Amino acid sequence: MNEERWMREALRLARRGYGRTSPNPMVGALVLRDDRVLGRGWHRAAGLPHAEIEAMNDARRRGHRLDGATLVVTLEPCSTWGRTPPCTEAIVQAGIREVIVGAIDPNPRHAGRGLSLLRAAGVRVTAGVLAEECAELNAAFNHWIVHRRPLVTVKAAMTLDGKIATAAGESKWITGPAARAFGWRLRRGCDAVLVGIETVLADNPSLLPRGRGPWRQRRVILDARARTPLEAQVTADAWARQTIVVVGPEAPPDRIRALEARVEVWRAPRARRGRSPGGAPRLDVEWVLHRLGAAEVTHVLVEGGGEVQASFLMAGLAHRIAFFYAPRVLGGAAARRAVAGEGARSWAEILRLRNVRWRRVGGDLLLEAVVEAPGTVVKSGVHGQ
């Protein structure tokens, strides 16, 4: 049997759950006999059957027996009760003879347990087939399940000289339609989209993927002084209850009450040091990330502006970047930068990237990379002007 061939097919199935399965991982599965597919399945949403169950049920609907068959699955089958029963029991009861697994369960409490239970029941198990690809598919889930904080991706669209807006704040449509569509797809794959209050005041964005929904994404606004307008899209549209406005200790109580009538409001502590260029206090972003993790947010897309981007990046809180570059040059010392803030204080603190990948998206370029933390990590804080 060509195990990698079938694992790639299982990965293709798993990706059908993109943007729908959180806080569960994306998983795909196949039931095979003599190199012939009997059933296919993927995890569709949290609380619904897992991919292994879907694949076995698909095979049964097609009139196939499962005893002696092979199951290919991108992630180690679960062995404990959660929203659904353990898949290991269903696999053994179905008479599956062999299980081929991609990635091991990242949860330290469960890693390898499902495989051990299957082997103890007489099932032949092969693990680690395309393990890196299977693990990368669920990078956000893997990070969250271990650290209980979301994976953070910083996304920006800029000119070739790193500018996101003119000095006057004009910024609409730096990149072309293909890049914007790609950005909306990134939103769909995340649990929350985060911006600072200046982005809301300047652009009045929806912060949602395009289309009719329904959308499950949370929208997080860092707004120390509770200045988010009640008529903004994030507070007045059909998804307003999925908006979180994070305010600081200085926020006026009457503004907090007005916002609470429409959205969720979190009261965050101040960062230990620093204020924004406008003089507003900085919010403790690490506190925000811990709170989001407790709310089962596994992946946050940070979209701006420049001070917010810099605060996440230079504090060592960002894990991935997605930077779109348009073939344009804005120039000007006063033009707004994609990454603002104080910057690295020495070459030792410079931000380094790995697993760098460039791709063309329409007429623009996309840089995707994994972020390595600066040599000296500064205390995190983001302005909410």
Q: Tell me the catalytic residues.
A: 52
Q: What order of strands is seen across the sheet that includes strand 28-33?
A: 36-42, 28-33, 70-75, 98-103, 124-127
Q: What gap in Å lies between CA 94 and CA 91, rounded to an integer?
A: 5
**Contact between 158 and 306 (Cβ < 8 Å):** no
Alpha helices in 261-367 (DSSP H): 285-294, 306-314
Q: Extract the tokens encoding 186.
A: 């990134």
Question: How far apart, in whole angstroms, are the C-alpha atoms of residue 302 and residue 194?
Answer: 5
Question: Three-state SS for 94?
Answer: helix
Number of neighbouring beta carbons within 10 Å of residue 357 = 9
Closest to 287 in 3D by CA, of 223, 154, 381: 381
User: Rounded distance, CA 309 to CA 384, Å?
Assistant: 13
